């Protein structure tokens, strides 16, 4: 039999050698990096090397954070920073990107999360509890806690532990265009205005042309978890999920809020234990919003963070919309004069309970520089740092959690005139609570937004939409039964 010699490389041999080469390359790639050059022999007694530089990888908006970083480095020159900017159309998208980043091995030291993701990171054990550090540095932090309402602190807790020190917050209050209201001959809403007052104002300010197409809308909202139609669920005395207080937290309340009546009954964070999407109060709220949409008082709902609504508001095509302190500076930047808009509490329905979201930095549980990260986090919530940060300076782009920072001077240039409403939402309404955001907030939000849009476009009745939402939320909860079990 003839051999195959001299007839060229066979396919089998080629594949064999390809596999061997690929395996060799894989082994070479897995080899550890060569060690750093060591000091020469006999240098055991040599002088210690210069202090090593710590590099903190921080998820932030670099432009806003740079002034604070510069201040911090004046006293901590051995700490360098690497900024990681993560953007998204809304908080759950940012959270999804961060989770993907961490899953792919890109470690961080400090993240920045809002309520929508606090329990997500804590529940996944991505975030490190800061209880020990807070208790160790209690003297330094006393001043901060005195200046921040306890409901904001509680929103950053999970199962008895604190995970973040809140830096900014936003409660959904009602912004209104003063020019549009004046043109319609309508008085500005008062603090104790009702849902019927709201409806009358919205109807009076809606203008349509001869063909029936709306030229100005009385009200508009964005389909999202915070500030969409959640404020109406709250003022109608309900919630999307069953809420209860987790146990624990006494160390914090007794340590920093011993004399504050606002901490009475507060526990170790919130638990949202079961869905109640199709509660009659929720159906009533969604029905109301669908009804005013049918009447042409509101346009088709938008997706996203509300930026598109800003355009309509600033051009006088929209009378009212729910928004937080973040609109004060945004409207100024969009060219609105400081007296052309104002803000009021949400109207009263069954009660006047408000919803808010808050945000702050969190330390990665697997970070290599947790002590340095804590030092920065502590500095970050100092008044000097907050005053320097781009979020609050030169214009207020979001509401600072420090009560002392909300002053007439801060809002003199931007408006609104009724800026006291922002913190009054917390101080005068002790039942104000964070938006429901359990560890499964990402899929929960997708269901909330999806079924809301189906109801608002008429595909489903509000009752059918909320029944569908309830069923899917129940399935979601069933797949995640141990959300609030904190492993030791």
- Binding residues vs another protein (CB under 8 A): 2-9, 14, 18, 21-22, 92-93, 96, 99-100, 103, 124-126, 211, 213-214, 217, 299-301, 303, 308, 312, 317, 442-443, 446, 449-451, 453-454, 456-460
Peptide bond into 394 cis (omega under 30): yes
Distance CA 403, CA 57 (A): 30
CB-side neighbour CA atoms (13 Å) of 246: 23
Residue 464: CB minimum distance to another protein, A? 11
> Comparing C-alpha atoms, which of 372, 360, 358 is closest to residue 109?
372
Residue 317: CB minimum distance to another protein, A? 8
Q: Report DSSP letters for 83-132, one per residue.
A: EE----SSHHHHHHHHHHHHHTT---SEEEEEHHHHHHHHHTT-BPP-HH
> Is 34 or 211 the residue whose CB approaches another protein more closely?
211
Residue 131: CB minimum distance to another protein, A? 22
Residue 152: CB minimum distance to another protein, A? 27
Residue 22: CB minimum distance to another protein, A? 6
Distance CA 155, CA 239 (A): 16
Length of the chain: 488
> Comparing C-alpha atoms, which of 243, 244, 225, 267 is closest to residue 117?
225
> Comparing C-alpha atoms, which of 31, 120, 4 is closest to residue 442?
120
> Is 214 or 262 the residue whose CB approaches another protein more closely?
214
> Is 7 or 74 the residue whose CB approaches another protein more closely?
7
> Is 214 or 395 the residue whose CB approaches another protein more closely?
214
Residue 431: CB minimum distance to another protein, A? 31
> Is 393 or 442 the residue whose CB approaches another protein more closely?
442
Q: Report DSSP letters for 336-395, one per residue.
A: --TTSEEEEPPPBSS----EEEEEEEEEBTT-S-HHHHHHHHHHHTSHHHHHHSTTTSSS
> Is 145 or 221 the residue whose CB approaches another protein more closely?
221
Residue 128: CB minimum distance to another protein, A? 14
> Is 311 or 394 the residue whose CB approaches another protein more closely?
311
């Amino acid at each position: 039999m003839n051999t195959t010699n001299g007839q060229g490389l066979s396919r089998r041999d080629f594949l064999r050698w390809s596999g061997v080469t690929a395996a060799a390359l894989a082994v070479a790639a897995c080899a550890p990096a060569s060690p750093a050059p060591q000091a020469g022999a006999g240098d055991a007694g040599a002088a210690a090397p210069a202090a090593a530089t710590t590099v903190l990888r921080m998820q932030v908006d670099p432009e806003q954070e740079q002034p604070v970083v510069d201040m911090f480095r004046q006293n901590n020159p051995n700490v360098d920073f690497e900024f990681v900017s993560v953007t998204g159309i809304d908080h759950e998208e940012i959270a999804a990107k961060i989770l993907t980043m961490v899953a792919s091995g890109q470690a961080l030291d400090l993240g920045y999360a809002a309520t929508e993701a606090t329990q997500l990171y804590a529940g996944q054990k991505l975030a490190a509890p800061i209880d020990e550090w807070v208790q160790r540095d209690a003297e330094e932090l006393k001043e901060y806690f005195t200046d921040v309402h306890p409901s904001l602190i509680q929103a950053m807790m999970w199962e008895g532990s604190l995970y973040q020190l809140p830096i900014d917050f936003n409660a959904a209050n009602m912004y209104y265009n003063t020019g549009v209201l004046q043109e319609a001959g309508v008085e500005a809403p008062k603090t104790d205005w009702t849902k019927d007052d709201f409806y009358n104002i919205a109807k009076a300010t809606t203008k349509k042309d001869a063909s029936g197409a709306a030229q100005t809308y009385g009200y508009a909202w964005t389909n999202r978890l915070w500030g969409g139609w959640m404020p109406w669920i709250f003022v109608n005395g309900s919630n999307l999920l069953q809420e209860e207080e987790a146990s624990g937290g006494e160390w914090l309340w007794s340590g920093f809020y011993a004399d504050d009546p606002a901490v009475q009954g507060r526990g170790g964070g919130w638990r949202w234990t079961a869905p109640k999407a199709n509660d009659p109060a929720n159906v009533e709220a969604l029905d109301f919003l669908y009804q005013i949409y049918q009447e042409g008082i509101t346009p088709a709902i938008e997706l996203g963070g509300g930026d598109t609504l800003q355009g309509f508001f600033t051009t006088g095509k929209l009378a009212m919309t729910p928004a937080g302190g973040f609109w004060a500076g945004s409207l100024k930047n969009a060219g609105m004069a400081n007296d052309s808009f104002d803000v009021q509490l949400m109207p009263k329905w069954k009660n006047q309970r408000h919803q808010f979201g808050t945000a702050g930095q969190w330390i990665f549980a697997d970070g290599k520089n947790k002590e340095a990260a804590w030092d920065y986090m502590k500095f970050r919530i100092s008044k000097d740092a907050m005053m320097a940060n781009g979020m609050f300076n030169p214009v207020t782009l979001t509401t600072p959690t420090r009560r002392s920072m909300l002053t007439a001077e801060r809002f003199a240039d931007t408006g609104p005139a009724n800026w006291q409403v922002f913190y009054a939402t917390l101080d005068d309404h002790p039942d104000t609570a964070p938006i429901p955001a359990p560890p499964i907030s990402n899929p929960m939000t997708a269901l909330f937004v999806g079924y809301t849009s189906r109801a608002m476009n008429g595909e489903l009745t509000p009752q059918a939409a909320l029944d569908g939402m309830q069923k899917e939320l129940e399935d979601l909860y069933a797949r995640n039964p141990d959300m609030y079990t904190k492993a030791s």
